[in-house]
Amino acid sequence: MNRLRWIPFLLAVAANLIGIAVGQTTVSSVAQVLLMPTLLLAARNIGRLGVAALLLAWLGDTVPRFLSGDPGLLALIGFFLASQVLWLLALWRYRHDGLWPRTWGQLWAEPHRWWTLAYVLYPLVMVAVVVPRAGWLGTAVVAYALAVVLMAYVATGLGLWGTVAGISYVVSDSLLALRLFGFWPTTPTVSFAVMATYTLAQGLLVLSLGRKRRASVSESLRAS
């Protein structure tokens, strides 16, 4: 039964990606609006912050469809920025289980934590590339870049799948930013890559956070 609850989400993902691949924009659009509601059906034990993060992502998938131009783009960035902040808050308590050090000395004394440098440099590079073309949205782009990379960094505390989820989200948003601000045209290939990495990220965040929370409860019960 636990696996069956994922079927609606996986069907929505398949419909979205197939719709993009074959040029059925209506199918892909409807499926995208259904992604987060079906993922909520699959979610277990992700807490109120996790649920709220998914609801804001759903608004980010849906509301910009009814707007055009800069208002639509601002709504897209705004809703997903709020979603990233809530994911960050939901994952914050587990940060020390990943790359986040308890002390600065620990950061440099343990080689596996040196990956922190990549999480610091990447948003700086993306901001330097994208902001000159973002115009008045530049501040929003900077805020979003910092939020999504910080979320990805904290997500390493969820283990391997949390790490993959965070990186996938960064990749998805980077591809989307490069498309939105004119670095390459909107093509089915780019759209497919954006949505594939986005759905992978959201699904793995839900899965890994639920498992982490259950494991924390079990540890607490054993300790008591």
Q: Number of structural domains, the chain?
A: 1
Question: What are the pLDDT digits (tens) for 186-220?
Answer: 889 999 999 999 999 999 999 999 999 998 876 66
Question: What are the pLDDT digits (tens) for 9-33?
Answer: 999 999 999 999 999 999 999 999 9
Secondary structure of the chain: what % helix, strand, coil (to 5)? 90, 0, 10
Measure CA 63 to chain center: 18
Q: Is 109 exposed, middle or buried (0-12, 13-18, 19+ CB in 10 A)?
A: exposed
Residue 2, pLDDT > 80, answer no
pTM: 0.93
C-beta of residue 171 within 8 angstroms of C-beta of residue 224: no
Which residues make Cβ contacts (< 8 Å) with residue 94, sequence separation at least 6?
154, 157, 158, 212, 216
Question: What are the pLDDT digits (tens) for 105-132?
Answer: 888 889 989 999 999 999 999 999 999 9
Per-residue confidence (pLDDT) for residue 224, from 0 to 100:
62
**What does the DSSP 8-state code read for residue 193?**
H
Domain that holds residue 78: 4-223
